[in-house]
Amino acid sequence: MDFFDITFLTQEVIPHLNDGILDSLALIIPAILIGGSFGILMGIVRVFAKKPLKIIADGFVAVIRGVPLTIQLMILYFGLPYIRIYLSPYTAALLAFIFCTGAYQSEYIRGALLSIKQGQIKAGQALGMTKSQIIWSIIVPQAIRRAIPGCGNEIIYLIKYSSLAYIVTHIELTGEAKIIASRTFRPTEVYLVAGCYYLFLITIATWLLSKLEQKLSIPGFSKANS
């Protein structure tokens, strides 16, 4: 058996990892979409909502950011049955990723919202716009552009942390690799190839994000007191 021989890779490793990457994407894509919306909502709540709601949102984010994702996963999957809530491994993992990415995204959204100059709001008011018109057509479009680099980073993190689904026994790319490695006793090769899959995902995501950033870029905007 040669190290990295082609038949081993094409027959034993790649087909299974291809299944695995689809399972990973089935976690990552909904988590980005739902978690992203959740993060924007939380960011807006943390800046504009009334006191009690704001405190709840701030507290939620502080807890999520302060506790390891591993523990959050364990609580959702192994812990919740204690109070008679039973989640499937997939649901538990997805939920944890949504909370986690949402909380971190909301930090960037919040920072971006707070970075919008007071004058922009005053100019909107002076034109007779209502509070919600000002939020949606002046503050949010500017804030999104400021938040994109940070939120993009979070998406990259999410792709990597999706491997933690393994901990709650949901089999995706990492889980698949673990199974092949234990069966074939060739862990180095299998894990290296699995690593390449993640590098591939992340490189694609980075490329897409930079395209998005370019598309939304406005002359002199990102540089202006960012």
Partner 1 sequence: MQTIITILENMPYILMGSFITLYLVIGALFIGFIIGLPLAIGQVYGSRITRLAISLYVWFFRGVPILLLLFLFYFGIFNLISINLDVATVSCIVLGLASSAYQSQIFRGSIQSIPYGQLKAGRALGMTDSQSIRSIILPQALRLSIPGWSNEYSILLKDSALCFALGAPDIMARTHFVASRTYEYLPLYITAAFLYFLITLAGVRLLRYLERRFAIAGYTLSA
Partner 2 sequence: MTNENNIKNALLSAQNISVTLGNRLILNDVSISVGAGDLKVLIGPSGAGKSTFLQCINQLIPTDSGSIYLEGERINMANNASLCHLRQNVGMIFQDFNLFDHLTAVENISLALRKVRNLSKEDANDRARKELNRVGLANRAGLYPAQLSGGQKQRVAIARALAMDPKVLLLDEPTSALDPELVGEVLAVINDLAAHGMPMIMATHQMDFVRSLATEVLFMESGSIIEQDKPHVLLASTSKSRTLDFCSKLNNLRQVAEHSPEITCTANSNT
Site string for partner 1, 74-93 (x = CB under 8 A): xx--xxxxxx----------
Stretch that binds partner 1, among 25-33, 60-68, 114-122, 129-137 (CB under 8 A): 60-68
Q: Which stretch binds partner 1 (CB under 8 A): 10-18, 45-53, 143-151, 194-202?
A: 194-202
Enumerate residues 107-166 that contact partner 1 by CB under 8 A. 160-164, 166
Q: Which does 115 bind (CB under 5 to 8 A by kind): partner 2, partner 1, none?
A: none
Which range, of 4-12, 129-137, 176-184, 217-225, touches partner 1 by CB under 8 A?
Answer: 176-184
Q: At what angle do helices 14-48 and 140-161 cross, to 10 degrees?
A: 140
Q: Report d(CA 106, CA 58) in Å as an integer.
A: 10
For partner 2, which residue of 70, 137, 188, 210 counts as binding (CB under 8 A)? 137
Q: Is 123 in the site for partner 2 (CB under 8 A)?
A: yes
56 binds partner 2 (CB under 8 A): no
Q: Which is nearer to partner 2, 73 or 112 (CB)?
A: 112
Q: Estimate to the nearest angstrom the gap between the alpha carbon of 104 and the chain centroid.
A: 8
CA 85 to chain centre: 25
Neighbours of 206 (CB within 10 A): 15
Q: Does 1 bind partner 1 (CB under 8 A)?
A: no
Amino acid identity for residue 163 in this structure = S
Cβ 8 vs Cβ 186: under 8 Å: yes
d(CA 94, CA 161): 11
Binding part of the chain for partner 1, among 8-16, 39-47, 66-74, 120-128 by CB under 8 A, reads 66-74
Nearer to partner 1, 48 or 60 (CB): 60
We find the least distance from the C-beta atom of residue 33 to partner 1, in angstroms, to be 21
Contacts of 176 (CB under 8 A, 6+ apart): 16, 17, 19, 20, 23, 194
Q: Pull the structure tokens for residue 17.
A: 């990892």
- Asked if 205 and 156 count as a contact pair (C-beta separation under 8 A), the reply is yes
The residue (of 107 and 135) whose beta carbon lies closer to partner 1 is 107
Cβ count within 10 A of residue 218: 10
- Least gap, CB of 41 to partner 2 (angstroms): 21
Q: Measured between alpha carbons, how far is 27 from 2 in angstroms, rounded to an integer? A: 35
Using CB under 8 A as the binding rule, whether residue 119 contacts partner 2 is answered as yes
CA dist 173 and 199 (Å) reads 12
Q: Note the residues at the interface with partner 2 (CB under 8 A).
A: 117, 119-120, 122-131, 133, 137-138, 141-142, 145, 218-221, 224
